[in-house]
Structure 1
Amino acid sequence: MKQYQDSNKWFYADLLNGLFPYAIILVMGLLIFGPSLKFNFLNFDDNIYVYENPFVQSGLRWSNIIKAFTESHGGHWHPLSWISHMLDVEFFGMNPFWHRGHNIFLHILNTCLLYLLICPRLLPKWLALLAVCIFLVHPLRIESVVWIAERKDVLSVFWGLMTLVFYFQYTNTARARFLFFSLLSYAASLLAKPTFVTLPLLLFLLDVTPLRTLPPASKRMSIFEKLPFVVLAFVSTTTAILAQNHDGGLKDVSAYTLASRFNNVPTSYLTYLGKLIWPESVAIFYPFQIYPPGIGMGTLLGLLALSYLLYHQRRKQAGLFLGWLWFLVSLLPMIGLIQIGGQAYADRWTYVPHLGLIVGLVATFHSSGWPSKKLYVFLVAYITLLSVKTLHELPNWKDSESIFRHTLVVSPDNFMAYTNLGRALEEQGRISEALENYRRAVHLRPQYPTALNNLGSALAKTQRFPEAKEYFQRALKVAPDFISARYNLGLLEFYTGNLDLAERLWQETLEKDPHYAPAIESLRHITSTALPH
């Protein structure tokens, strides 16, 4: 009996010891990101994904699920992300507390999965915990976690990490069911967002780096095993490009020249490296910038030299070499050669690339002969500094006005920030301030249709109809499929007595988007004396 009690005691001790790192991750995640639960929705993408999305607003319905898989929205095809937002609406309505809490929960789960993957495979227990805590609390995680629209990031990475968990189970046991579960998880990851579209190449890197040396026959088999992953990645990439092209998200060379996009690649890599070490400034949008060719070329040569050095140290520093390759490869889809949107880079795009780089750097410190006590003190101090920085940055995200005012401090000539700040002010009834911000946005980016449309809308509210009409027409000239501008032009024509023209414009709006509720409602009122809403 005593022997049984002793073994039972040791069992529970081992269980608690095994769960302790996960408890630390949970507590730290809640302490750092918990204050954001009281924040509001943002008027930048949260509207597209949640509170103005017609097939999310009504919650989880079969018709909405079908639409999520058969229609793109806002230039994106992210059916699993749409469904996750539907679940939030179904259970919690439009309360941002629970929507954001869902993001925080997924981020904590992702950190736990990362710990599961690297301990003890790459790092001993406590070093692995410190490495994942760097990832957990880093200020660059704010965008993916606190911004509700970025559910797609944390959800995609959750299923991507589950893909790795099942894949490593497969490589350890050679049981086909784990490969099948890995493929299912990868499909789910891509359905949330093609964040892990480079995963087939990353899996191959995990096989051939010194961390897992395979004999030639096994390497050939390893290539065949990746083919289903490659097929899924190809289908996802094609679908994403078609969805973006359908809604005008892809920018051609006339918007950003091929030379400027190539020049932006090495400078973006350098920016992401610097922000990993210390993110001095964090904003929601960084406009595309044209750098002198010498800066891009010099940065590229520096990155190539660093890659060459790490390649020659790959036997001694296998973890760092793998982390560097992970960083380079996983950033490729977001690096800007195919330009989507007007940003040069984005903090959320570091969510996957920094996973490998952080682990690789900590592994290098561990293998370089640092005294354990000094290394632990250094990492704890670094995590503390990152946590303080994150808590300092967090209040900037409490609402639309706060985040875009902060973004203008970080990036003064930011057309997107002026546009969305103007919208936030307009929603508060501060029309004159909104007009000022819209005009600044149009001055910085004369061909930006959203700023043109918003300026026209604000002018119409001040009864300046001729000037408002001019801006609606300019917006449609730049973007003929811009349904909001077409609807607003119809609304202006209605208020100025041109009922036939208003009706035609609203019908054209519905031809482009049959579900556009304002146009549907306005056409119902066109024959009555009531004004449309």
Structure 2
Amino acid sequence: MNSWLRFRPNLLPLLLIVVATTVVYAGILGHDFLVTWDDNFYVTENPDSWGFSWQNIRAAFSSFYIGNYAPVQILSYMFDYSFWGLNPFGYLLTNICVHILNGLLLYRLLSQWHNDRVLALFATAVFLLHPVQVESVAWISQRKNLLALFFLLLAWEAYCRYRNAQPTQRRLIYLASVVAFVCSLLAKSMTVVFPLMLVMHEVCFHQPDGKKRYLDKLPYVLAAVAVGFMAIYSERPDIGSGGRTGFHGGSLWATFLTMLPVFCKYLKMLFWPFGLTAEYAPTIYTTVAGEVVFAGILLAITAICGFLLFRYDRRLGYWICFFWVGLLPLSQIVPMLSLINDRYLYISIIGVAAFGGGAFSRLSRLHDGRFATLAAVAAMVLLCGLAAISYSQTLIWRDSISLFKDVVQKTPASDRGWALLADAYRMAGDVESVKKTYESALIVNPVSPIALSGLGNFLTEQGDLEAGNRILLQLLQVKPDHATGWLILGDNRLRRKDYTGADQAYKRSLEIQPGAFIVYLHLGSLELQRGNTGLARNYFNKVAVRDPYNSVLAYQLACLEALDGRNDEALFWLNNAFQRGFRGYAELGNSEFLKNLSNDPRFAMLIQQYFSQEGLK
């Protein structure tokens, strides 16, 4: 009853914040999956996420998805699929709900720690309505961000209860906190810094029992270390198809110089959130330039101000530390392909929001509250402005084409942005725009690996094998260790019936990335075309060890069994392929390997079952 009485005055402003957040994000419920940007790997082409089953749950906990070990994320998609199938409406609705829940949990924690209603309300509103949050909410694949914070806040809430609980209740509540933190890590590993946040909180805030406790942080540290090493491993391109790369600029020093302006860019994004987009093209610095010096001075001034604030008011200074600690896992300590993204601020922004809330609360109390009305009006104007910018930002996330059109408009120097736009056109079937857009990428960067490999692959798929071969050779001349380039070159040669050349290209790709099991799938296809079913089976078995639920693998095994005259086994694998999401209509109609099944009534029943509406060409 007492807690309800304390909460009641906050109900209306909190309700208004929730309504404002709902209004800002309601428009995304009509958006599509971003099928050229991870949504295909996580949902639309990933049978592991299509509803709850022991097979899918096992796959979620035993597989890497685009370099991420994130079983909690995949489980959440199973939940969505159970209600909505492959309708993006439901997935985006879940994103909005989790984002709002995160705001409410944040409000509760801030209220407990600061006993300041104004601070908590302002910080919650900034967290929910700031434009940098749009990427995490409007992009289905970034469910991991939302869930990571959700479970982290639950872990923190349980930890606070553990510190306040009676001795007989503490153990169970503490266990719940640790379990929630593990779930956070299994959604996205960026929360590995939570133990450090707990230690800082121990130092900066008065604890209920008046004691400083550090030993009880050890289980959190162990969990963070274990998942951190798992994340580093899974991000290897040859293991989990992740984004780990070499140091930007070729050295640790160059990466350090490059990150100084990037950190300043993050500050600008928070305080001047205009021009936000899905891809940025930060300058790579290998020597100390003027912009690097300026960024270093600005960051030094920020650090000094933060230190002085920390000495003056530890509780408020804590949030400055929180912001920078939250960015640590995303600071290229382990080099990753992406240097900067809006979504990297999803958790860190809490530090800035809480600090801003504290500053706003103090301003409203100056001179016995004479500035309260002025401060309230200023806050309303600020929050309405953030909400308006966020709403306009949601519009660009409608589909892949609108998203990457925005990227190339705001960041025309991003060859990656142009290449991703070309890929979006390819998925939409706009063949004419694909080639032009790849050529635009090559104007920006004539040796762009992503543009050259994409164009080479597109030309190969279109049957312009000579032009595709020329582009791919150009790529490999510039970047001879481009594993994907060699893989596509192998496909090009396979289409030209150059089996020896295809074999050499595939094996070169495998030499560069020994753990890239997908290459074995292509080698198996090559041997299948050669008629070497035994060798093909060996390659397919290697794929099955790493990705046993791969739909293309199941289809290839069906072709292999049909070629060997084992119709029962062929039909078993064909049904398996369809269940896993294989929808290669053209391949089914043109496959020489499946001709042996054409007279089997069970084959016709399978086609009728899975393709009754599409038809088989």
Other structure's SS at 1:41 match: coil
1:182 counterpart letter in structure 2: S
Corresponding residue of 2:257? 263
Matched, 1:226 2:212: no
Question: What is aligned with 1:25?
Answer: 17
**Cα pair distance change 1:191/1:426, threshold 3 Å:** same
- The corresponding residue for 2:597 is none
Q: Hey, which bits of structure 1, 4+ residues long, moved more than 6 A?
A: 10-15
Mean Cα deviation higher: 367-376 or 495-504: 495-504
Q: Is the 8 A contact 1:459 1:467 kept in 2?
A: yes
8 Å CA contact retained: 1:510, 1:520:
no
Which amino acid in the other structure matches residue 280 of structure 2? Y
Report the Cα offset of residue 155 of structure 1: 0.5
Corresponding letter in the other structure for 1:312: L
1:402 aligned partner: 402
Cα 1:522–1:477 shift into 2, 3 Å: farther
Structure 1 Cα separation of the partners of residues 61 and 309 of structure 2: 46
8 A Cα contact 1:107 1:145, kept in partner: yes
Instruction: Write the deviation string for residues 303-337 of structure 1: whole angstroms up to 9, x where unpaired.
Output: 23332233223353334311110011111110123
- In the alignment, which residue of structure 2 is the partner of 1:530? 590
Match of 2:313 in 1: 317
Q: Which amino acid aligns with 1:354?
A: I
Q: Is 1:168 paired with 2:160?
A: yes
Pair 1:69-2:65 in alignment: no
- Structural mapping, 1:366-445, within 5 Å: 366-368=361-363, 369-370=365-366, 371-442=371-442, 444=444
Q: CA deviation at 1:522?
A: 5.1
Among 319, 324, 347, which residue is 2:342 paired with?
Answer: 347
AA aligned opposite 1:33: Y
Larger Rg belongs to: 2
Aligned to 1:5: none
Answer whether contact 1:38 1:97 (CA < 8 A) is retained.
yes
Aligned twin of 2:37: 44
CA 455–509 in structure 1, closer or farther in 2 if over 3 Å, else same: farther
Aligned to 2:48: 55
Q: CA deviation at 1:286?
A: 1.4
C-alpha separation between the residues in 2 aligned to 1:241 and 1:235? 10
- The SS at the match of 1:397 is coil
Structure 1 distance, partners of 2:163, 2:78, is 36
Is 1:142 the counterpart of 2:134? The answer is yes
- 1:299 offset after TM fit, Å? 2.1
What is aligned with 2:358? 363
For these two proteins, the number of residue pairs brought into alignment is: 516
Is the alpha carbon distance of 1:268 and 1:530 closer, same or farther for their aligned partners in structure 2, counting shifts above 3 Å? same
Code of the aligned partner of 1:129: L
Distance 1:240 1:451 in 2: 28
Please, what is the CA RMSD of the aligned residues? 3.1
Describe the SS at the equivalent of 2:201. helix
The aligned runs of 1:95-106 (5 Å cut-off) are 95-106=87-98
Instruction: Please report the TM-score for the alignment, with normalisation by the length of structure 2.
Output: 0.77
Aligned-partner Cα distance in 1 for 2:165–2:264: 40
**1:15, 1:314 → 2: CA distance?**
30
Does the 8 Å CA contact 1:33/1:104 hold for their aligned counterparts?
yes
Cα–Cα, structure 1 residues 255 and 73, in superposed 2: closer, same or farther, change >3 Å?
Answer: farther
Secondary structure of the residue that 2:127 maps to in structure 1? Answer: helix
- CA contact 2:248–2:335 (8 Å) conserved in 1: no
Query: Could you tell me how far apart the structure 2 residues matched to 1:120 and 1:218 are?
Result: 18
- Work out the CA distance in 1 between the residues paired with 2:101 and 2:414: 34
Give the SS at the match of 2:590. coil
Letter in 1 for 2:151: W
Tell me how far 1:495 sits from its aligned partner. Answer: 4.2
Separation in 1 of the partners of 2:224 and 2:401?
38
Higher mean Cα deviation, 146-155 or 286-295? 286-295
Query: What is the aligned partner in structure 2 of residue 4 from structure 1?
Result: none
Contact 2:10 2:117 in 1 (8 A): no
Identity value in percent:
25
Q: Name whichever of 192-201 and 307-316 sits farther off.
A: 307-316
Amino acid at match of 2:37: F
CA 1:286–1:523: 2 relative to 1, 3 Å: same
- Please give the residue correspondences for 1:409-488 in structure 2 after superposition, counting only pairs within 5 Å: 409-442=409-442, 444=444, 450-471=450-471, 474=475, 477-480=480-483, 482=484, 486=487
1:328 to 324, 331, 338: 324
Q: Deviations over 1:186-237 (max 9, x none)?
A: 011001011211011111111112x32799x933xx2211111110110010
Residue 83 of structure 1 corresponds to which residue in structure 2?
75
Task: Provide closer, same or farther for how the CA distance between residues 119 and 248 of structure 1 changes in structure 2, counting only shifts above 3 A.
Answer: closer
Alpha carbons 1:323, 1:361 under 8 Å: kept: no
Q: Which moved more, 1:150-159 or 1:113-122?
A: 113-122
Deviations 1:348-396 (A, max 9, x none): 0111111022111220232355422222111111000111111122211
2:526 maps to 1:504: yes
How far the C-alpha of 1:274 sits from its partner, in A, is: 1.5
Task: Kindly provide the CA deviation profile for residues 491-511 of structure 1, in whole angstroms up to 9, marking residues without a partner as x.
Answer: 545543457868327756874
Contact 1:194/1:237 (8 A) holds in 2: yes
1:248 & 1:128 partners in 2: Cα distance?
38
Q: Give the distance between the partners of 2:541 and 2:481, measured in 1 at CA.
A: 19
Q: Distance in 2 between matches of 1:29 and 1:146?
A: 13
The answer to whether structure 1 residue 302 and structure 2 residue 298 are counterparts is yes
256 and 91 in structure 1: CA distance in 2 versus 1, 3 angstrom threshold: farther
Distance 2:345 2:4 in 1: 38
> CA distance change for structure 1 residues 227 and 107 in 2, over 3 Å: closer, same or farther?
same
Matches of 2:272 and 2:441, distance apart in 1: 30
In structure 2, give the amino acid aligned to 1:239. Answer: M
TM-score, reference length from structure 1: 0.88
Which of 77-86 and 244-253 deviates more? 244-253
Alignment partners' CA distance in 2, 1:304 and 1:261: 18
Structure 2: unaligned runs, 5 residues or longer: 503-521, 529-535, 564-587, 593-616
Q: Which amino acid aligns with 1:276?
A: L
1:56-75 deviation line (CA, Å, top 9, x unaligned): 2x322211211211221211
Structure 2 contact 70–187 (Cα < 8 Å) conserved: yes
User: Residue 202 of structure 1 aligns with which residue?
Assistant: 197
Distance verdict in 2 for CA 1:298–1:510, change over 3 Å: farther
Query: For the residues of structure 2 that align with 1:266 and 1:524, how far apart are their CA atoms?
Result: 54
- Separation in structure 2 between the aligned mates of residue 186 and residue 529 of structure 1, nearest angstrom: 50
Partner of 2:179: 184
Give the Å deviation of 1:126: 3.9
